[in-house]
Structure formats: structure tokens, C-alpha cells
């Protein structure tokens, strides 16, 4: 079930430089939502900016959900000025969430930067379904941008911090942190972050024989399979098609089917 609803903004807080957390009320969307799914957010009511912004459902509550986003351009800049009590049109939930597999021995979440937004709901679902919380690698450029550490700890997760500049936790990249945790064939890795971080993380998981699921981000117009704007190249052809749509075929994909090399070339623009 998908909804288009004007949802009340319940809370909207700056949580780090340029990073905001917005809680919205919608029992319908919350009830239908799975961890890893996303929604399309109307940032203004006028026609400029024109398109909705795709954002993952970071936390799912009984009466609504939470978005965690970074101000990147005009759209998110305008969104950041909305205040509690106002409403915001939300279309969702959209896309495929993370499969929850309690039979998997070990679950490791690997997050880079704002990619962390994909994971609080997943961590909670894994903790509930598996009886023990997942391990979390939380990596970011610098200390201020390590988000949600306390939230993960409150769920009982072991959190491994890393920063590019060494200002907090280990001075290491996300993929290096994963390597140190020695994943094995019984491990499932969940990655979300910059493309280069996901491709290197997927490579570490593959070498260890671990399965790896990634949550991709793309520019998209409709969020629902029609515009074909958000495609990425896949290594696997399906019915003669090599392109997969991030919106309806994803945003969660098995890392093994993504053609990382083609993607990195395309986005070197």
C-alpha cells in the first residue's frame, strides 16, 4: 500500500552541521513501512523546486516515521526551514526494504556519512527478529558527522566508530573497519553511504564470502518506476534488460549484481 498524505511535522531538529532530523506523523505510512523503504518528500508547495526528494524512512514509529537528511541543495535547504506544526506532503512507503533473515549468523551494518539514515529502523528490526542486535560500523568524514551512535547503543548494538580524519574512533574507512571485524561466510553485511564506500565494502564482504546488501541513492523524478531516471547498471540481465531502477527494483540490492565499475565511471561526471 502506498499513500500520498499531508503529514504533520512533529519535530525538526538540527543534529549536526547541515544535518536535520524530521519526525512526521502518519500511522498509515508507519503501518505499511518496512526498514529500508523510502518516501518522496515535497519540499515546497510551489513548483520550484519541482520534484520531490527521495529520503529513506530512518526510524519507523507507531504513529509515524523519522527522516534524517543532509542539506545538499535548494530543495533540502527549503525543507530545513519547515517547522513543527506545519504539514509536509509525503508519498510512500516506496521501494523494497531490507529482507530480515533471522537464520543468518552475524549481521553487520556498515554506514558511511548520511548513509546512516537507512539503518536505525533496520537495526531495531534485526534486534527484534534475531534476538540480538546487529554490530554497527559507523564511519564519517569527521567527529561531528557521526550520527545515531547513541540510538544504536540504546538498542544494544556494539558500535565501532571511524573517521577519515581520526577525530573520533579509529582513523579508518568503513571498508577497513569491516575487514577488522573479520566477517565470514555466515555474515550478512548491510551498507549505505557514498558509492565508493559501498563498492569497497561490498568487495571486502565478497572476499570474506559474506553476503552484502546495499541501499543505493539516485536522482529520481517519480520514485515509482515510471520515469526511468534513477537507473544503475546491473551485471545481471533480466529479460534482456541491463538497467535496474533504484526506486522499484531497489533501493536495496544484492551488492553482487551492481556493476560498480560502470557506476563509478558514469558518476565521474
Partner 1 sequence: MTCDTATLAVNLGGLRMKNPVTVASGTFGYGEEFDRYFDVSLLGAVTTKSISLKPRAGNKPPRLVETPAGLLNAIGLQNVGIERFLSQKVPYLRKRNATIIANIYGYSPEEYAELARRLEAEGAADAIEANLSCPNVHDARTAKGAVLVSQSCEAITVYTRAIREATRLPLYIKLTPNVMNIQEPALAAEAAGADGVCLINTLLGMAINPETRKPRLANIVGGLSGPAIRPVAVKMVWDAARVLRIPIIGTGGISGAASAIEFLLAGATAVSVGSMSFRRPDIALRIVEGIAEYLKRHRIADVNQLIGAMQA
Binding site residues, partner 1, CB under 8 A: 2, 4, 42, 47-52, 75, 91, 218-222, 224-233, 239-243, 262-263, 266-269
Is the sign of the CA dihedral 168, 171, 177, 181 positive or negative? negative
- Cα–Cα nearest to 124, from 30, 9, 248: 30
Q: Are 121 and 58 in contact (CB under 8 A)?
A: yes
Smallest distance from partner 1 to CB 267, Å: 7
Q: Are 49 and 71 in contact (CB under 8 A)?
A: no
User: What is the Cα–Cα distance from 253 to 177, expressed in whole angstroms?
Assistant: 22
User: Closer to partner 1 at the Cβ: 64 or 75?
Assistant: 75
User: Closer to partner 1 at the Cβ: 83 or 269?
Assistant: 269
**In degrees, to the nearest 5, what angle opens at C-alpha 41 toward C-alphas 48 and 21?**
115
User: Closer to partner 1 at the Cβ: 139 or 195?
Assistant: 195
Smallest distance from partner 1 to CB 137, Å: 28
User: What is the Cα–Cα distance from 258 to 167, expressed in whole angstroms?
Assistant: 33
User: Closer to partner 1 at the Cβ: 101 or 226?
Assistant: 226
Amino acid at each position: 500500500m502506498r499513500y500520498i498524505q499531508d503529514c504533520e511535522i512533529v519535530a525538526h531538529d538540527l543534529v549536526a552541521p547541515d544535518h536535520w532530523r524530521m519526525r512526521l506523523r502518519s500511522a498509515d505510512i508507519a503501518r505499511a513501512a518496512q526498514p529500508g523503504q523510502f518516501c518522496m518528500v515535497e519540499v515546497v508547495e510551489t513548483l520550484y523546486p519541482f520534484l520531490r526528494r527521495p529520503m529513506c524512512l530512518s526510524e519507523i514509529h507507531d504513529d509515524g516515521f523519522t527522516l534524517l537528511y543532509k542539506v545538499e541543495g535548494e530543495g533540502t535547504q527549503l525543507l530545513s526551514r519547515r517547522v513543527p506544526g506545519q504539514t509536509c506532503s509525503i508519498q510512500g512507503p516506496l521501494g523494497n526494504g531490507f529482507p530480515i533473515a533471522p537464520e543468518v549468523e552475524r549481521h553487520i551494518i556498515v554506514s558511511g556519512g548520511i548513509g546512516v539514515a537507512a539503518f536505525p529502523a533496520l537495526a531495531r528490526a534485526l534486534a527484534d527478529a534475531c534476538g540480538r542486535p546487529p554490530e554497527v560500523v559507523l564511519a564519517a568524514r569527521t567527529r561531528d558527522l557521526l550520527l545515531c551512535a547513541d540510538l544504536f547503543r540504546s538498542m544494544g548494538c556494539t558500535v565501532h566508530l571511524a573517521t577519515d580524519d581520526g577525530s573520533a574512533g579509529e582513523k579508518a574507512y568503513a571498508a577497513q573497519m569491516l575487514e577488522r571485524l573479520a566477517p565470514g561466510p555466515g555474515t550478512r553485511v548491510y551498507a549505505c553511504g557514498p558509492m565508493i564506500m559501498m563498492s569497497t565494502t561490498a568487495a571486502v564482504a565478497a572476499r570474506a564470502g559474506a553476503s552484502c546488501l546495499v541501499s543505493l541513492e539516485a536522482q529520481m523524478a517519480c520514485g515509482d518506476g515510471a520515469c526511468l531516471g534513477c537507473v544503475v547498471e546491473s551485471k545481471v540481465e533480466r529479460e534482456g534488460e541491463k538497467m535496474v531502477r533504484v526506486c522499484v527494483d531497489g533501493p536495496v540490492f544484492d551488492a553482487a549484481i551492481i556493476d560498480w565499475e560502470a557506476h563509478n565511471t558514469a558518476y565521474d561526471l
